[in-house]
Structure 1
Amino acid sequence: MPFAPPFRSAVLLVAGAVLVAGCGSGGAPAPSGAKAEGTAAGRPVRLDNCGQRVEVGSPPRRAVALDQGSAEILLSLGLADRMAGTATWTDPVLEGLEKANAKVPRLADRYPSFEKVLGAEPDFVSASFLYTLGKGGVAPRERFEELGVPTYLSPSDCVGKDNSGDGDGVRTEPLTMDAVYGEVRDLARIFGVPERGEKLVGELRARVEKARTGADFGGASVLYWFSDSRGPYMAGCCGAPGIVSDALGVKNVFDDTKEEWPQINWETVVDRDPDVLVIADLTRRAQSAESAAKKIEFLESHPVTRNMTAVRKKRYVLLSGQAMNPTIRTVEGVEKVAAALRAYGLAK
Structure 2
Amino acid sequence: MTNTTLARLRRPTALGSALAAALLLSGCGATVEPDAKATRKVTVKRCGEPVTYTVPRRAVAYEGGSADKLFSLGLADHVHGYVMPPANPPVTRSPWAADYAKVKMLSDDLLNKEIVVQAKADFVVAGWNSGFKPERGITPQILDKLGVQSFLHSESCFNYPGFPEKFTPFEALYEDLGRLGKIFQVEDRAKTVVGGLKKRVENVRAQAPRGKPVPVFLYDSGTEQPFTAGNQVPPNDIIKTAGGRNVFDGLDQRWTQVNWEAVAAAEPDVVMILDYGDQPAQKKIDFLKNSPHTKGLPAVKKNNFFILDYNEGISGPRNVDGLEKFAAYVRELDRQS
- TM-score, normalised to structure 1's length? 0.81
Say if 1:77 and 1:197, in contact at 8 Å, map to a contact too. Answer: yes
Query: Structure 2: which 5+ residue stretches go unaligned?
Result: 20-33
Q: Does the CA-based 8 Å contact 2:76-2:103 persist in structure 1?
A: yes
Aligned AA (1:214): Q
Q: Provide closer, same or farther for how the CA distance between residues 172 and 115 of structure 1 changes in structure 2, counting only shifts above 3 A.
A: closer
The answer (yes or no) to whether the contact 2:216–2:269 under 8 Å persists in 1 is yes
| More moved, 311-320 vs 225-234 | 225-234
* Equivalent residue pairs, number: 315
Residue deviations 1:30-69 (CA, integer Å, cap 9, x gap): xxxxxxxxxxx99211123224342223x22111112321
SS at match of 1:224: strand
Equivalent of 1:296 in 253, 267, 285: 285
Match of 2:197 in 1: 204
> Distance in 2 between the 1:137 and 1:73 partners?
24
- Equivalent residue for 2:244, pick from 241, 246, 250: 250
Distance 1:311 1:24 in 2: 59
| Cα distance between partner residues in 2 of 1:127 and 1:307 | 39
TM-score with structure 2 length normalisation? 0.83
Which SS does the other structure have where 2:284 is aligned?
Answer: helix
Kindly provide the amino acid, as one letter, of the partner of residue 102 in structure 1: A
Aligned to 2:61: 65
Q: Partners in 2 of 1:172 and 1:83 — Cα distance?
A: 26
Contact 2:208/2:241 (8 A) holds in 1: no
Higher helix share: 2
**Whole-angstrom distance in 2 between the partners of 1:213 and 1:134:** 39
User: RMSD across aligned C-alpha pairs, in angstroms?
Assistant: 2.7
**SS of equivalent to 1:14:** coil
Contact 1:300-1:306 at 8 Å conserved across structures: yes
Measure, in 1, the Cα distance between the counterparts of 2:43 and 2:167.
27
Instruction: Report what 1:126 is aligned to.
Output: 125
- Residue from 39, 42, 50 that aligns with 2:47: 50
Q: 1:347 to 1:136 in 2, by over 3 A?
A: farther
Q: Deviations over 1:295-322 (max 9, x none)?
A: 1111112233122111111111111123
Matches within 5 A, 1:151-230: 151-158=150-157, 161-162=158-159, 175-219=168-212, 220-230=214-224
Shift in CA distance, 142/15, structure 1 to aligned 2, threshold 3 Å: farther
Amino acid at match of 2:43: R
Identity of aligned residues (%): 32
Q: Is the 8 A contact 1:155 1:183 kept in 2?
A: yes
Kept in 1, the 8 Å contact 2:218–2:228? The answer is: yes
Asked whether the 8 Å contact 1:14–1:121 carries over to 2, the reply is no
